[in-house]
Chains A and B, each alone.
Chain A
Amino acid sequence: MSSGSALARNSFDPARAGSDARLSVEQVSYAYSANPTQAPLFTLEATSFQAKPGEIVAILGPNASGKSTLLNLIAGALAPLSGRILLDGFVTHSLTPKTRAQRIAVVQQESRLLFPARAWEFVLQGRHAHGRSLRFESEDDVLIAKNALAQVGAAELSDRWMDQISGGEKQRVILARALAQQPLLLLLDEPTLHLDIAAQVGLLDALRRLAAENRYTVVVVTHELNLAAEYADQVVLMQRGRCLRVGPPANIYQRELLEQVFQTPLTVEMGASGRPRVTVLSAT
C-alpha cells in the first residue's frame, strides 16, 4: 500500500468537518482493464458530488454508464484511480471491512442464498460487523433486528423462509438487514429492478421516510427516470463513464439532455409538487 493511502486513512479533513456534507465524492475516477498492458475496457471520468444526512441521491443513467462502478467506489469495494471519497472525513476505501460495514450498508440487486434461512436470521446478519468474529447475538442485536423489520413494515415476515416470500417482501427484508447495520450511508443498486409498481413505490416511500427519520444519507443507482425524479433530492446524471450533471431533479430534467443521454424521444413536464415528470415517446 502506498504511503499516500496510509496518509489518507488518518486524514480527517478539518475543512470538511465544518461543512454539513456527510458524503463527499471528490474528483473520483476509475479505469478497468482485464490486462494491465491493454487499454482500459471501461473508464469513469472525474466525478464529484456531496450529500448531507437525510438526503437521497439518485445515480441515474442508461446501462453501462458507470452507475454501479461509482456505487462500488463509494462503498469502498473499489479503489479510485484518482480523487477520493470521504464519509464523515474518512476515506471509505481505506477502512477495514468491519469498520466499513458499521458505517456503510449496501443493498445489492438480488441476494441469493445457498441454504434456506428465515427472515430474522437474514436480518441478524446485519449485526455481524458490530460484534466479535465468533460470538452469539446479544439481546440488543435481536432488538435492533426486530426494529429494523418493523421499520420496513415486515415484522410479520420474521419467521418466514427467505425463499418462500415474494420479491417485494424479500427486498424489504434485505433493506431491513441493511438498517440493522445502523449505517451512516445506505447504498442501493437498482433496488426496484424486479419489483412491480406497487412494491417499487412502497420500497421508495419507506426509504424516504427512513432517510428522514434516521438521518441516513441514501445513494440509489437507478435507470428509472420517474422514480428518481419523485424521490431524489439530488440526481447524478451519468453517460458512458462521464458524470454529466449534478443537481436537484428540476434542474437536471431537460428534454434535450435526457433525450441525448437515454437515446429516446421523450417529454418533460413539471408536476404540481415541483418535481418533473418524464413521458417516454415511441421512436416510430
Chain B
Amino acid sequence: MKPLTLRRLLVQCLTLVVVLFLVVVIALKFGAVPVSLYALGRDLLSVLFGQTSQISSDYGLIIVNIRLPRILLGMIVGASLSVAGTSFQALLRNPLADPYVLGVSSGASLGAILALIVEPHLSVSPLFAALLTPLGAFLGAAATITAVYFLGRREGQIDSTTLLLAGVITGSFLSAIILFLMSTLSGSLRGLSFWMMGELSTPLQKSVYWFLGVGFFVAAGAIYTTASDLNLLLSGEKEAMHLGVDVPRVRLVVYIAASFLTGLAVSVSGAVGYVGLIVPHVMRFIFGSDHRTLLPTAAIGGAIAVIMADTLARTVVAPTEVPVGAVTAVIGAPLFIYLLRRRLA
C-alpha cells in the first residue's frame, strides 16, 4: 500500500515543469530568425532567477515580443483544455470525452462569435467589451455540455456511445451554424480556420494574458478541490454518493469550471481539438488515474503538448503556418479511434 503523499505529487509535477521548460526553450529557438539554443537557455535561466531583467542579446525583441507571448498562450490553452478534458472524462464516466469531441468547443466558438457580433451594438466600457468574447464562449460551452448531457442519456442513465454520438452531432450542427454566420457576416470575426481548427497566432493585449492566467487558476483550482470526489465518481454517481460524495454539488462545480476553461481557451485560440483527450490518457498511463495527481500533471502536460504541436504547426511547412488544431487533430483522431476500438474489444 503506497498512498499518495504531497512529496510524491510535488516531485511528479516538478519533473514535468522541467520538461515544460525544455520544450519552451526549444519552441523559442524555432522560427524565421535563427537563435542559439545554448545562449537562449542561459539567458532565460538568468531572467528566471532574477540576475538580469531582460534578454539583452540582439534576438531579444523577437523572443520577448513575438515568440514568448505565443508560447504563453499555448501553455494556457493546453492546460485549460487538458483539465477540462480530464474533468469531463470523470464526470461523464467516459474515457473518450473531450471538449472538442463533445461539441463543447464548437459551442464555445459559436458563443464567442455571437459575442463578437453583438459587441459593437452595445455601449459598454472597453474593459467589459474585451471580456465579452470569453463570456460568450463560456455560456456557449455551458449550454452545449448541458444539451449533450441530456441528449446522451438513455432511460435516465448516461450511455457512453449515445453521449459521444450526441456530442459529435451537436458539434457538427454548431459548426454548420458557425459556417453560416461566417459566410453571411463579415468584419472582425477572425478567420474561419480559427474557429474550426484553432490558431495561436492572434496577438493579444497584455491585460488579456492576466485575465487568462487568473481565470485558469481559479477554475482549475475549483476543480482540484473535488479531486478525491472525482476519483470516487469513476465508480458511478450512486456509489460515490454512498461513499460520502455530495454528487450534485461536485457536478455543478466541475461542469461550470470545465465549461469556463473551455470557453477561456476557445475565445483566444479557437477550437483546438483532442488535447483534452490525448493528454489525460498519457498522464494516466504514466502517473495513474488518481485525480489529485492527474489534474495538475494533465495541466502541465497540456501546456507541453500544445507548445510542441504549435512548434510543429509553425515549422513543418515554413514559411506557411498550419493551424495548431490541424496538428492536434492529425495526432488525436487516430488515437481516439484506437482507444475506441480497445474499449469495444
Contact = CB atoms under 8 A, between A and B. Distances in A.
Interface of A: 75, 77, 96-98, 100-102, 104-106, 108, 111-117, 120-121, 124-126, 128-129, 131, 133-137, 141-142, 145-146, 158-159, 181
B3 A129 contact: no
Given A77-B238, A114-B93, A125 B232 contact: yes
Interface stretch (B36-44, B60-68, B241-249, B271-279): B241-249
B239 A111 contact: yes
Given A77-B241, A98-B244, A116 B289 contact: yes
A102 B246 CA distance: 13
B101 to A, nearest CB: 16
A108 B241 contact: no
5 contacts: A96-B246, A108-B242, A114-B89, A114-B289, A128-B245
Interface stretch (B129-137, B209-217, B222-230): B222-230
B32 interface: no
A125 B3 contact: no
A105 B225 CA distance: 24
Given A120-B1, A134-B228, A114 B95 contact: yes
B3 A141 contact: yes
B311 to A, nearest CB: 31
Contacts of B232: 125, 128
Nearest to A100: B244
B289 A133 contact: no
A125 B243 contact: yes
Nearest to B227: A134
B128 to A, nearest CB: 34
User: What 9 A-B pairs come out closest when comparing CB atoms?
Assistant: A129-B244, A101-B244, A115-B289, A106-B242, A137-B3, A114-B234, A120-B1, A98-B244, A97-B246
Given A97-B246, A133-B225, 5 more contacts: A77-B238, A116-B289, A133-B228, A134-B292, A137-B4
Interface residues of B, number: 33
Given A114-B95, A114-B234, A145-B1, A128 B228 contact: yes
Nearest to A126: B243
A181 B227 contact: no
B239 A115 contact: no
Contacts of A98: 244, 246
A141 B229 CA distance: 17
A120 B245 CA distance: 19
Contact of B242 (A75, A96, A121, A137): A75
Contacts of B247: 97
B162 interface: no
Contacts of B284: 115
A96 B95 CA distance: 30
Nearest to A158: B1
